[in-house]
Amino acid sequence: MQKIREKIYIEAGIFGDKSTKKDAFFFPVLDLIPLEFNFGFKCLESFGICFTSKHAVDFFLLKFKSNIEITNFFSKCFCIGTVGEQTANYVKEVFPSTLCKLTDNIIYPKNELGLKSLIQDLNKIIIENRNIYIFTGLSGKTTQIIFENEKYVNLKLYSVPVYDTKEIDYNLCVKFLNDIIGEKKISECDLIFSAKSGQVINTTIKILMSYFGIAIVDNLPASIFFIPWEKSAKKVLNELKLIDRDIS
């Protein structure tokens, strides 16, 4: 009788986060660094605000000392947008209840997650030439996505980086992987890494190549697979010719 292969599920992500599923290990590959930014646009007649992640929400809120300050700031805000439902729910959770008119009507793409889809949705429902400020990470694709889409929409889009990322110390990554894999033989189990973004999955693959001592990505153990959550993550797998490892 053939032995059933053990499947080990691992969620790669940002240091300090947790796995979203009970049966998955968490593997931090990136850490966050806060960036200085200003609200030079708050004197405008009106504006919309978008967030590309929960982390963008957290670093945005660090600018405020009280819920009163937050409420006053949003007095000229006509909408809040997020790239997905999870981030929308997080905004509802952490924003003051005084902003319920905004948080109860957060705009986010219902079908295909991501900033491009959000921009397209905003363009359908918002009066043209409105200013939209997108709070995001510096090393993400926000600026590129804005550049590629702004000529097709009637909105004024601005990227506001509020944090940057750095790779976790490699020795710490080795410790995490050793703790997860333990005494198991790689040839006898499947390691299934899920990752939300292209940056996370790219960093994960880079760490795995060093961990297994290989120079060519094609030589990753055949028992390693990936579950990309966003289009950017799937794109990385495609560019690295690892699309056959995609089991999403």
Instruction: Please give the pLDDT value at position 175.
Output: 94
Same-domain check for residues 152 and 236:
no
pLDDT of residue 43: 62
Residues 145 and 45 in one domain: yes
Q: Which of 133, 166, 199 is the last residue in one of the domains? A: 166
Is residue 19 a part of any domain in this protein? Answer: yes
Provide the pLDDT for residue 127: 79
Flag whether the pTM goes above 0.85: no
Token reading at 210: 């060093």
8 Å CB contact between 238 and 205: no
- Residue 31's nearest CA partner among 19, 12, 15, 17 is 15
pLDDT in tens, 188-224: 889 999 998 889 999 999 999 999 999 999 999 999 9
Give which of 202, 209, 205, 211 is closest to 181, Cα–Cα: 211
> What does the pLDDT look like over 15-30, one tens digit per residue?
988 888 888 999 999 9
Rounded CA gap, 30 and 13, in Å?
7
In a domain, 97, yes or no: yes
Please check whether residue 187 lies inside any domain of the structure: yes
Asked whether residue 140 carries a pLDDT value surpassing 90, the answer given is: no
H or E element in which residue 79 lies = strand 77-82
DSSP string, 28-42: EEEEEEE-----TTT
Burial code of 14-45, b = ≥16 C-beta within 10 A, e = fewer? beeeebeeeebbbbbbbebeeeeeeeeeeeee
Residue type, 158: Y
Of the candidates 138, 166, 194, which is a domain's last residue? 166
How far from chain centre, in Å, is Cα 72? 28
Residues 194 and 136 in one domain: no
> 162 and 66, same structural domain?
yes
Q: What pLDDT was estimated at residue 181?
A: 86
Q: Tell me how far apart the alpha carbons of residues 142 and 161 are, in angstroms, rounded to a whole number.
A: 9
22 domain residue, yes or no: yes
Supply the pLDDT for residue 232: 82
CATH of the domain at 70: 3.40.50.10090
Please indicate, yes or no, whether residues 91 and 50 belong to a single structural domain of this protein.
yes
Among 109, 143, 166, identify where a domain stops: 166
Q: How many domains does the chain have?
A: 2
| Domain span holding position 95 | 35-166
For 151-190, the pLDDT digits (tens) are 999 999 999 999 999 999 999 999 999 998 887 778 788 9
- Residues 77 and 61 both lie in one domain: yes
Residues 222-241: tens digit of each pLDDT: 999 999 888 788 888 989 98
Mean predicted confidence (pLDDT) in 106-123: 90
